[in-house]
Chain A
């Protein structure tokens, strides 16, 4: 080496300093923190008294911000800068968690409270048939059955189709065709639900002349569910390590059997979760169902002929009415919708738990 190289042999300047392992600083304990919080609240009360600040929400926000600042400052003095930063970030993260919880909890609580008024047996066994416009009573049996039939049919169509598409993309697809399919599935993900409804309305109902039906709604929901099922299954199948496929091939197992018996069971929990998300989304769709099933105050158990109701549609059509009986029914329908989705989610979890999968 004749060129002038930087000196590498000598003792290097250390970029990191050693820090003492035990800090000589004090520690803030819970009583101190509670005292600090009390002081901050007192200060905020004072602020709200002397300035123009007002409102409960404003009080909480101001108090929280003041506490964050005060805690950081006090901790910096007592505990040192590192602990202070740790406290600041921990408090911020916990606060964000609580803030994120607010809409979730309040929606749940509010729907339960409002929906409880009509959460009775009649709601599940009766329809709106013969219920006077101004009368309370009646039920949403037609809407519950409509939702289950429409989403059930849509699941029946979209899950096998979506699984096969994802298997093609991951296990067989090579080159342009697979890339094109993936692109169009991505495009489909972005289709607004009302466009899916309009498509089925113009193609199936106007174009081919079939009337309004639960089946038409199921077609629209299938269009919405398909991309979700394909994309989530695709991601889950990709997560299955190639070493498992190779192990199976090396045992002389054909490719189709490897996919069916090794790859699919390994990916099943994730695939089921994706399917559940797709079902939950489809259950809450209103616009496409309105355009294709129209809605029906009477019970129609045949999804292949005649207008049908569904829970979101029932909510939409009831909530638009100014009469209290309608509004009460809408709230209860919302509660039932949430419960149905929750029940399906729990069912999927039970299936995942009781199957042999995921115990390793």
Chain B
């Protein structure tokens, strides 16, 4: 059920500003790909083009082809909501729905997409919370508000919510940057488990994290303010961190770069 992603000549714009230029890469199914790079280099923007979340921002648009298996998600007649159902996303800050209980948060995606049967929802809620390693902590208080959990638990709740709709690909935009090291570890462990079922793409500022969890790493950078971000290289994580092809990558991962 995990799918392959191929990006062909992808450019993303905010109004007249080109944020990323000509990104070409392949992400294999059931792998974890980490995207690293300095702030403003377009890695988050690229991540958001992968499930058509980029176009939610007024004036934002995307050029190029993004193939999910062999289907272009920017092709004619492709519905963005359908794409997002297939490609889930976890955000930088935990964002549980404040009006909903823990249970309602987890099944929100299913319920809002028309699943009504209580037994189906119950099963999905338990399975997703198990999958997000949160079940044991919250099973006795499923009807309590989701916003009452700790930051790390909230983020795992958001992951449970994302995997409840059974996507093919999971995008994570700096999912641990607002969390403490213990919650971060919990989520990194979770990612390794989720790899068996999903294709995972994670944006991170933490290079140790990229080295720990990912199979492949892509390095983005910008030449200077106002110029678009580019993918410098993408390769096996081991190679990127030990023997990168590009000088710029080496400068960045060794800390000799802005």
Contacts and interface: CB of A to CB of B under 8 A. Distances in A.
A and B held together in a complex:
yes
B158 interface: yes
B112 A248 contact: yes
Interface in B86-106: 86, 88-89, 91, 93, 95, 97-101
A120 interface: no
Nearest to A250: B89
Contacts of A258: 112
Interface in B160-189: 161-162, 165
A4 interface: no
B118 to A, nearest CB: 17
A253 B86 CA distance: 12
Contacts of A251: 84-85, 88, 108-109, 112-113, 161-162, 165
Contacts, number: 80
Interface residues of B, number: 32
Given A249-B53, A251-B85, A261 B95 contact: no
A257 B51 contact: no
Interface stretch (A67-75, A213-221, A239-247, A339-347): A239-247
A360 B99 contact: yes
A248 B99 CA distance: 13
Nearest to B146: A360
Contacts of A359: 145
B88 A250 contact: yes
A174 B84 contact: no
A80 interface: no
Chain A contact-residue range equals 20 to 34
Nearest to A261: B112
Contacts of A247: 91, 95, 97, 158, 161
A244 B86 CA distance: 19
Contact of A243 (B81, B95, B112, B165): B95
B175 to A, nearest CB: 13
Contacts of A357: 99
Interface string A325-358: 0000000000000000000000000000000111
A266 B81 CA distance: 22
A249 B95 CA distance: 12
Contacts of A266: 97-99
Nearest to B161: A251
29 contacts: A243-B91, A244-B95, A244-B97, A246-B95, A247-B97, A247-B158, A248-B97, A248-B112, A249-B81, A249-B84, A250-B91, A251-B108, A251-B161, A251-B162, A252-B81, A253-B108, A253-B112, A258-B112, A261-B112, A262-B97, A262-B99, A265-B99, A266-B99, A356-B99, A356-B101, A357-B99, A360-B98, A360-B145, A360-B147
